[in-house]
């Protein structure tokens, strides 16, 4: 990696690595994590891609729990199935606090079916990622690297905290309005009598509001971190082919639209200019055309170019030599 780009990234607390599927996102993210760790910076790398390959790249099994890869480097692969199960278990615990006992069987059936609803897994993953992002700030990590899903999923992930915060604000406003109406109705009810043995229903609603406020704060903190360019960087990985180039161009525009500018590009699998075989020479020539178009459209972004390797990049030694 160029010294200037690496020096800039060493100053960032959070780095997202995204790009089209199959361009080397995971390898690039893992190699960057090893660079940070080699500088004696305590680093955590988290895979958010449901099609996990981070453990394959490190040649080591990973899970939802932190696994040490080497000195100063730990890794996590977020398991969507485990996360969605924990997410809905928490929802059930929250709802049970202010639901009638006889309603719980139907509520459990509803929550069980909701786990397979469109967007449920994405929402659960988003909350888990936000929790990892925010909690890492207090876990003494100097860097947290996110190896993300393909570009479209990454863009939704980066824009969702703002939308979820607005949605939670709406729920909070509705809960507070309902609380005022309930209080007014109780004051007008002439039959209302103080009875210390009755359940404190107001406390249950206050608990619901506290849950929503905690959730809102989580999304607000995430949004603050994402938009803080002094501590957060977004890198996009591509290979010199037309489709990855077009997707990268669109991604850069969408990131800028959300005030999340791209901090740099990693251009992977670049062939040597001169090839001894006609077929490979034609491929190299096409790559040069794509690289020229890349310079015309995104030349203002910092770039790091990586040559095409003749073998798979797996294990710490191979990753150390990736750059």
Residue 287 covered by a domain: no
Quick one: tokens of 221? 């903190």
Instruction: Examine the pLDDT at 204 and tell me if it is beyond 80.
Output: no
Pairing label, strands 73-77, 43-47: parallel
Instruction: Give the model's pLDDT for residue 100.
Output: 76
Residue 93 covered by a domain: no
Given pLDDT bands bounded at 50, 70 and 90, which one contains residue 45? very high
Task: Identify the CA nearest to 64 among candidates 139, 14, 129, 20.
Answer: 129
Q: Point out the least confidently predicted range of 145-149, 182-186, 195-199.
A: 195-199
- The CA distance from 253 to 249, in Å, is 6
The H or E element spanning position 225 is: helix 201-227
Residue 264 covered by a domain: yes
pTM above 0.85, yes or no: no
Question: Averaged over 165-183, what is the pLDDT?
Answer: 62
* pLDDT tens readout for residues 220-250: 888 888 889 999 999 999 999 999 999 999 9
- The CA distance from 273 to 267, in Å, is 15
> Which residues, 6+ apart, have CB-to-CB distance to 199 below 8 Å?
none
DSSP 145-206: EEEPPSHHHHHHHHHHHHHHHHHHHHHHHHHHHHHHHHHHHHHH-TT----TTS--HHHHHH
Residue 289 covered by a domain: no
Domain that holds residue 21: 11-83+118-188+199-276+298-317
Q: What is the CATH number of the domain that holds 147?
A: 3.40.50.300
> Which residues, 6+ apart, have CB-to-CB distance to 157 below 8 Å?
48, 125, 126, 129, 148, 149
Instruction: Give the model's pLDDT for residue 114.
Output: 80
Residue 258 covered by a domain: yes
Pairing label, strands 67-70, 73-77: antiparallel
Residue 286 covered by a domain: no
Residue 100 covered by a domain: no
Instruction: Give the model's pLDDT for residue 221.
Output: 87
* pLDDT tens readout for residues 17-28: 998 889 999 999
In angstroms, how far is CA 236 from the centroid of its own chain?
A: 14
- The CA distance from 194 to 202, in Å, is 13
- DSSP letter assigned to residue 142: S
Domain tally for the chain?
Answer: 1
* pLDDT tens readout for residues 288-309: 999 999 999 999 999 999 999 9
Given pLDDT bands bounded at 50, 70 and 90, which one contains residue 38? very high
Pairing label, strands 232-238, 264-270: parallel
Q: Residue 303: phi, psi to the nearest 5?
A: -135, 145
Given pLDDT bands bounded at 50, 70 and 90, which one contains residue 190? very low
Residue 124 covered by a domain: yes
Helix axes 120-135, 80-96, angle to 10 degrees: 90
């Amino acid at each position: 990696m160029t010294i200037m780009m690496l020096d800039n990234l060493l100053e960032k607390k959070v780095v997202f690595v995204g790009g089209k599927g199959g361009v080397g996102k995971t390898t690039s993210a893992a190699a960057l994590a090893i660079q940070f760790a080699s500088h004696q910076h305590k680093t955590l790398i988290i895979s958010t891609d449901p099609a996990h390959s981070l453990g394959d790249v490190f040649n080591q099994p990973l899970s939802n729990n932190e696994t040490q890869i080497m000195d100063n480097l730990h890794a996590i692969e977020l398991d969507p199935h485990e996360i969605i199960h924990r997410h809905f278990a928490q929802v059930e615990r929250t709802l049970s606090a202010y639901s009638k006992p006889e309603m719980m069987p139907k509520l459990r059936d509803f929550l069980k079916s909701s786990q397979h609803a469109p967007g449920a897994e994405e929402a659960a993953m988003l909350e888990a990622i936000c929790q990892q992002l925010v909690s890492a700030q207090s876990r003494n990590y100097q860097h947290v690297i996110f190896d993300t899903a393909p570009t479209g999923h990454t863009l939704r992930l980066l824009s969702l905290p703002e939308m979820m915060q607005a949605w939670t604000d709406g729920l909070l406003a509705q809960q507070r309005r309902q609380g005022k109406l309930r209080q007014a109705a109780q004051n007008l009810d002439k039959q209302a009598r103080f009875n210390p043995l009755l359940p404190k229903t107001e406390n249950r609603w206050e608990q619901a509001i506290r849950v929503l406020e905690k959730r809102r704060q989580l999304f607000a903190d995430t949004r603050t971190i994402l938009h803080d360019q002094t501590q957060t960087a977004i890198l996009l990985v591509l290979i010199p082919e037309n489709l990855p180039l077009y997707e990268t161009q669109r991604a850069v525009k969408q990131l800028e639209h959300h005030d999340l500018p791209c901090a740099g590009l990693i251009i992977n699998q670049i062939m040597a200019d001169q090839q001894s075989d006609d077929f490979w020479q034609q491929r190299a020539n096409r790559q040069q055309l794509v690289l020229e178009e890349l310079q015309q459209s995104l030349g203002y972004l910092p770039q790091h170019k990586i040559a095409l390797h003749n073998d798979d990049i797996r294990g710490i030694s191979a990753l150390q030599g990736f750059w």
